[in-house]
Structure 1
Amino acid sequence: MAGGEEEEQQLLSVYDGHVINNYEDDIRSINGINDFAKEFFIESKKLWYLAFPAIFTSFCQYGLITITQIFAGSLGTTQLAAVSVENSIISGFPFGMMFGLSSALETYCGQAYGANQSEMLGTYMQRSWVILNAMAITAVPLFIFATPVLKFLGQTASLSREAGNFALWMIPQQFAYASMLPSTKFLQAQSKVMSIAVIAAVALCLHAFFSWFLILNLGWGLVGAAMVLDGSWWFIAMAQFLYIISGACGETWSGFSWKAFQNLWGFLKISVASAVMMCLEVWYIMALTLFAGYLEDAEISIDAFSICMNILGWACMVAIGLNVASSVRVSNELGSGHPRKARFSVLVIGVSSLLIGLFFTLILIVSRKRYSGIFTNSSEVEKLVEELTPLVGLSMVFTNVQYALSGVAIGAGWQTTVAYMSTVCYFVFGIPSGALMAYKFKMGVQGIWYGMVLGLCLQICLLLWMIWTTNWTKECYAAEERLRQWRGETLAEETD
């Protein structure tokens, strides 16, 4: 421990006293259990101040498509299937890419805000707007040719036609995403999470009313559903933008700037790495679901797998909140030059995510004989779901921890490294292991799920190893140098 302290002091002396002053204000020494408990409680308050509104926002935004599907289901099974297919395949792919691209802002805006470089946050957000709108434009042909794309993927002609028509009306939604996602990350970096949550809640209420009014009352069908869904996302995007320019964000927004078009290539590189890192997890689940469809009892296997994934998906709403909170806390502390606070925040994040995962698992195990009945009347499916429940519970623990640690990686700017790591864990190790157990060893859908758990476990182990071996003082320097580069400065210019 003494050697580590000495190394930190030696490293700190390199930087002209800038970080030394912050280091003196860093977390005080912890002596005994009482001190640890007090500091843990203080950090937990900061973490959950961010996590609770983020979780609430995730539920509200997830509810938009859920309400649309409910009203579409009242029109008929084909309409319900059309909305589901369009959302998961046609809209799902570009949304996943844009969500990943925007997560680069969690690194840059979070670290800039921690370093009191408030004026840079608006520039970063505008750069992200440029990149995401370009992504939305390139995705337009996918929506225009959605019908033949869906036919090529094996969907029926009637479903492909209905989903294709719905997709045409959903093009404006992509540009709402391109505006909304960067502004969300911009506000989260400043801990202005309550404003995001309020806007999401209002959007959900308006969405429910206008869905009823246009779809059922006026009888506009899927066209009405599309218009309401487009309108809801644009409401969120415009409400967040108006909140930003109203002056509520102070110096972080100083108006539009041509600087948004500078250094786009460098900004794009970490944005793409962020997108790959986020999308690999989605593609991992899609690949495993596809393998489930090749089993002997494919219908029963897919039904059971889908029910378990649905339960895991709702638990992921909490994990997403932890992901947001951990990335903001770590990026803010690194930007502020507080290595010990960043390190302690990681500890609190890890312990909190583990406890929440264990809590959800306990609830799931207790209700293992009953919860599958909500989704199916098939005794065979219910039996298979019950057999999968211990694995689902283990997945909840791993998923909560993995999302929290991924937030740490985003906050520290490790997206490129984690993207390579995810590729190995999921596609070199997880999927082949699951396929081998499912087909070679005749373990069926349980074998596929074992493969998913093994991939997650390996990912967590590697993330823990990265965090354990990280010199957080050097990460503060890396954050400082990264911000200097985006301001067009170099370390030598600063110290001369």
Structure 2
Amino acid sequence: MDNSTEEWLLSPEELNSSDLKRRVWNESKKLWVIAFPGMVARVSSFGMIVVTQLFMGHISELDLAAFGLQQSILLRFVDGILIGMSSATETLCGQAYGAGHYHMMGVYLQRSWIIDGVTATILLPLFIFTTPILRLIGQEENIAIEAGKISVWLIPVLYSYVFSLTIQMYLQAQQKNKIVGWLSAFSFLLHVLLSWLFVIKLGFGLAGAMSAFIISSWLLIIGEFVYIFGGWCPNTWKGFAIAAFADMLPLVKLSISSGVMICLELWYSSILVLLAGYMKNATVAISAFSICLNINGWEFMVCLGFLGSSCVRISNELGRGNAKAAKFSIKVALVTSIIIGLIFWVLCMLFSREISHLFTSSEEIAESVFRLHVLLAFSMLLNSVAVGAGVQSMVAFVNLGSYYVIGLPVGILLGYVAHLQGLWIGLLGGVGVQTLLLSYLTWRIDWNEQVNRASERLGRFFIETTEGSDESSNLA
């Protein structure tokens, strides 16, 4: 393994050093080099949804509510499945990189495209039959009809997620995520420009806002394809391989366990938006709640980007067999993430009224958003406690209990007493319980056992390359 790879891994001397400040500083640098482009990518990607909602709010209240319902329920539902299914790619690629099995990263990427592509196709009927589904569950007729129009526009976006999510994880695992950050930032800026041009300047309304969303999403994918296929990943991308179709079942199982963990988290807030649709003045309720969730979700993308860098660092160390380094890395990541949460908490408390008016011209909706700002601020703070160490099945049970046994019943009971505040209190309660439980579980993890599991997983999925063991010596 060459020097460029070694610098990402904590040496035994560094772990045994008494200079804690130097160790924290070095680990923080390694985390931020990976984290910052990942944050830019995730914030920009989610930002396209937020910007689309922002322009929808200036088309009509109905379009704002319909998009809020579609984005918060349907898009979040399928996004949760695809992010969860793709997270196995992040784990496997990170461990393969740490172990020096570079050729396997391209195989994992192709397998994830197959699995996610099939999954997206299975979910396609939800986009085609949105209006009758919403009617069936009792949503208002005008919102159901408008949401059905929007869902057809979201089909190309659905398939863009198949590639964008997996490619980002593949590149991030090998410290090549700067290109993802640059491409995502460019796509986001282009999306803002196209949205303004199509909606405000040319007056294309709904069609203009959704066209800008689709164009920006796929330009990002095209840029990533050019980077991978153009030869900038010579050691991890060896071209399309038949091996991508081999041993799919173990990867599907890992993807499902990862998917359950994230889906339970993302669907939780979607259910609360659905409940908002049954309240009096559903248009205002859905609009206000979905705006708050998108602000909260945008901040969560920052935490998720930082968590992604932590997962890469931990996976690298587990793949190398260094349990102490993995444990030290997650401690540094947790402290840093909490500091990030505190910063966003302050910003939300100070500028909540200004933020609410960005999304709508309706004073009634803006006031509803403002009334939730204290709870929104604390939700952001709890988001910052980012934890994750490859224990997907355990986390799935924690999410199930925290959200659906505690948070959701509390939200339902209080929602029809305190209205939106009650729903958000339920959301906040579930997140708070989840944070405490996951923090405890992370503290109790046996890192030596995690090293053994990582080794077993790599051995199960490993396919010998014709280049043999020399591949670790020529990593670009």
TM-score (norm 2): 0.84
Q: Does 1:478 align with 2:465?
A: no
Paired residue total: 454
Shift, 1:195, TM fit = 0.2
Q: Does 1:264 align with 2:264?
A: no
1:13 counterpart residue number: none
Paired residue type of 1:423? L
Pick one of 439, 446, 455 that aligns with 1:464: 439
Shift, 1:362, TM fit = 3.0
1:142-153 mapped onto 2 (5 Å cutoff)? 142-153=126-137
Pick one of 395, 419, 422 that aligns with 2:396: 419
Shift, 1:191, TM fit = 1.8
Q: Name the CA shift for 1:293/1:70 in 2 (closer, same or farther; >3 Å).
A: closer
Q: Name the CA shift for 1:368/1:165 in 2 (closer, same or farther; >3 Å).
A: closer
Structure 1 residues 479-488 or 283-292, which shifts more? 283-292
Pick one of 82, 95, 109 that aligns with 2:93: 109
Q: Name the CA shift for 1:470/1:91 in 2 (closer, same or farther; >3 Å).
A: closer
Shift, 1:63, TM fit = 3.0
Assess if the C-alpha contact under 8 Å between 1:437 and 1:448 holds in 2.
yes
Q: Name the CA shift for 1:94/1:446 in 2 (closer, same or farther; >3 Å).
A: closer
Pick one of 426, 432, 438 that aligns with 1:451: 426
Shift, 1:206, TM fit = 3.3
| Paired-residue identity, % | 38
**Residues of 2 paired with 1:169 and 1:143: CA distance?**
9
Assess if the C-alpha contact under 8 Å between 2:90 and 2:169 holds in 1.
yes
**Greater radius of gyration (CA):** 1
1:3-42 mapped onto 2 (5 Å cutoff)? 25=12, 27-31=14-18, 35-42=19-26
Q: Whose relative contact order is higher, 1 or 2, with alpha carbons under 8 Å and at least 6 apart?
A: 2
Q: Aligned-pair RMSD on alpha carbons?
A: 3.2
Q: Name the CA shift for 1:118/1:50 in 2 (closer, same or farther; >3 Å).
A: same
Structure 1 residues 105-114 or 156-165, which shifts more? 156-165
1:227-306 mapped onto 2 (5 Å cutoff)? 227-291=211-275, 305-306=289-290
Cα deviation, 1:114-141, whole Å, max 9, x if unaligned, reads 1111011001111100011101211222
**Residues of 2 paired with 1:301 and 1:68: CA distance?**
19
Q: Name the CA shift for 1:453/1:147 in 2 (closer, same or farther; >3 Å).
A: closer
Pick one of 61, 77, 80 that aligns with 1:96: 80
Paired residue type of 2:151? A
Assess if the C-alpha contact under 8 Å between 2:403 and 2:430 holds in 1.
yes
Shift, 1:188, TM fit = 1.1
Shift, 1:169, TM fit = 3.9
Cα deviation, 1:88-119, whole Å, max 9, x if unaligned, reads 44433222211211111111011111111101
Shift, 1:423, TM fit = 0.5
Assess if the C-alpha contact under 8 Å between 1:270 and 1:416 holds in 2.
no
**Residues of 2 paired with 1:86 and 1:284: CA distance?**
15
1:171 counterpart residue number: 155
Paired residue type of 2:111? R
Q: Name the CA shift for 1:400/1:119 in 2 (closer, same or farther; >3 Å).
A: same
Corresponding residue SS for 1:27 = helix
**Residues of 2 paired with 1:95 and 1:312: CA distance?**
16
Pick one of 21, 30, 36 that aligns with 1:52: 36
**Residues of 2 paired with 1:302 and 1:224: CA distance?**
22
Shift, 1:212, TM fit = 5.1
Assess if the C-alpha contact under 8 Å between 1:180 and 1:237 holds in 2.
yes
Structure 2 regions of 5+ residues with no counterpart?
1-8, 465-476
Corresponding residue SS for 1:256 = coil
Shift, 1:395, TM fit = 2.3
Cα deviation, 1:390-412, whole Å, max 9, x if unaligned, reads 443332222110xx20xx33xxx
Cα deviation, 1:181-209, whole Å, max 9, x if unaligned, reads 21111011112121001111222233344
**Residues of 1 paired with 2:287 and 2:99: CA distance?**
49
Structure 1 regions of 5+ residues with no counterpart?
1-21, 490-496
**Residues of 2 paired with 1:76 and 1:443: CA distance?**
27
Assess if the C-alpha contact under 8 Å between 2:76 and 2:270 holds in 1.
no
Structure 1 residues 359-368 or 331-340, which shifts more? 359-368
2:471 counterpart residue number: none
Shift, 1:346, TM fit = 0.8
**Residues of 2 paired with 1:459 and 1:342: CA distance?**
22
Pick one of 473, 482, 487 that aligns with 2:462: 487
Assess if the C-alpha contact under 8 Å between 1:27 and 1:341 holds in 2.
no
TM-score (norm 1): 0.81
Q: Does 1:359 align with 2:334?
A: no
